[in-house]
Amino acid sequence: MAAVDDEGLCLISLCAADGVGPSTIASLQRAARARGVSLREVMALPMPELEADLDLTPVAARAVSEISAPMTAGRAVLDALDRIGARAVIAGDADYPDRLTERLGNQAPPVLFLAGDAALLQRPSRAVVGSRAPSRRAVQAARLLSAQQAGAGFAVVSGGAHGIDTAAHLAAAVAGGTVVVPALGIARYRPLDAGAGRAVHGRWCVVGQFPPHAAWRGAQALVRNRTIVALSDAVVAFEPRDCGGTYHTSLTAFRMRKPLFVVTASADGAKDRGLKRLVRLGAVALDPSCMPDADALARLIAEYRPPPGADQLPLFEGPQLA
């Protein structure tokens, strides 16, 4: 395990604490710089001062106050990660993908908890996301697209959910490489289970951005969607309904001005409405029976022009998330 300095151990302890997010950590770091003290000293401030002077929420201030020995807590997190074959990577480290800080700014995770092949995070990448209950044609198309992209050297990024996400991960892992961004802690995630206990071979990397033992939460899924888009050069969404996670990811792609492609092979009303709304907003529809290979998708990406004002789209345009 590489040596981690005191500042890094403090960051790791914060990122492993429930109730502490990037905004809270950014506030603590700003206060440390302004006062000319260490992050550990700022973390030791009384809870009322954390709330009043640093403008932390009561939940965040309490969570910070409960980390009584941050360097010890940070080392404990590293030891626990090592036992499950994972590790912590701090923003600015060689294995931390610069595109997260470039595209998310202060909302980028200060620490990532990684398992698998971190070199995949340095590849050009395509996000392949979609329905948890896809049609058979959509699954076949997602597998083909993912295998072709991974085989051409692109990392396929998705959220690890059932349905399209898993189909994309499994096809890409064997063909070249996939990146999984789950909406729960890395210690709780079981990567790329093909079912019936079968092992999955290939190249993969799991990116954890929540406390390692965090359970799944809806709010975390929305944050995860943003990370998927930020890690990717383009997004292909399979059978998004007119609400829900895939629709949210698609709107996030618009806001980040990423090329967005939509594939629907179902006559389901909600999926048809999702396709039409996203195309109206500026997405490009792809034919599920004729998936573009890597070269063809690269041309489509090069030709894509974000719609005017795409970055101003409200994330919850249309029906609210379920």
Sign of CA dihedral 48, 54, 58, 60: negative
**Residue 307 — pLDDT band, cuts 50, 70, 90?**
confident
204 and 149 in a single domain? The answer is yes
**Quick check: 310 pLDDT over 90?**
no
167 and 49 in a single domain? The answer is no
CATH number for the domain that contains residue 211: 3.40.50.450
Q: Which two tokens mark 10? A: 């403090």
The pLDDT value recorded for residue 321 is 29
| CA end-to-end distance (rounded Å), the chain | 42
Average pLDDT over residues 256-273: 93
Q: Return the percentage of the chain with pLDDT > 70, whole number.
A: 92
The pLDDT value recorded for residue 151 is 98
Can you point out the beta strands (E) in the chain?
A: 86-90, 111-116, 125-130, 155-158, 178-180, 204-208, 235-238, 260-263, 284-286
On whether residue 174 sits in a domain, the answer given is yes
On whether residue 151 sits in a domain, the answer given is yes
Q: Which residue has the higher pLDDT, 313 or 239?
A: 239
Each residue's pLDDT tens digit, 65-81: 999 999 999 999 999 99
CB atoms within 10 A of CB 296: 13
**Residue 320 — pLDDT band, cuts 50, 70, 90?**
very low
Q: What is the mean pLDDT of the chain?
A: 92
On whether residue 102 sits in a domain, the answer given is no
Q: Which two tokens mark 236? A: 């292909």
H or E segment to which residue 149 belongs = helix 136-151
CB 187 within 8 A of CB 212: yes
Can you point out the beta strands (E) in 61-151?
A: 86-90, 111-116, 125-130
Q: Which domain holds residue 43?
A: 6-84
Average pLDDT over residues 193-209: 70
On whether residue 110 sits in a domain, the answer given is no
**Quick check: 219 pLDDT over 60?**
yes
Domain endpoint, select from 84, 109, 128: 84
CB 301 within 8 A of CB 234: yes
CB 171 within 8 A of CB 142: yes
On whether residue 95 sits in a domain, the answer given is no
Domain endpoint, select from 32, 63, 84: 84
Distance CA 93, CA 111 (A): 10
The pLDDT value recorded for residue 35 is 96
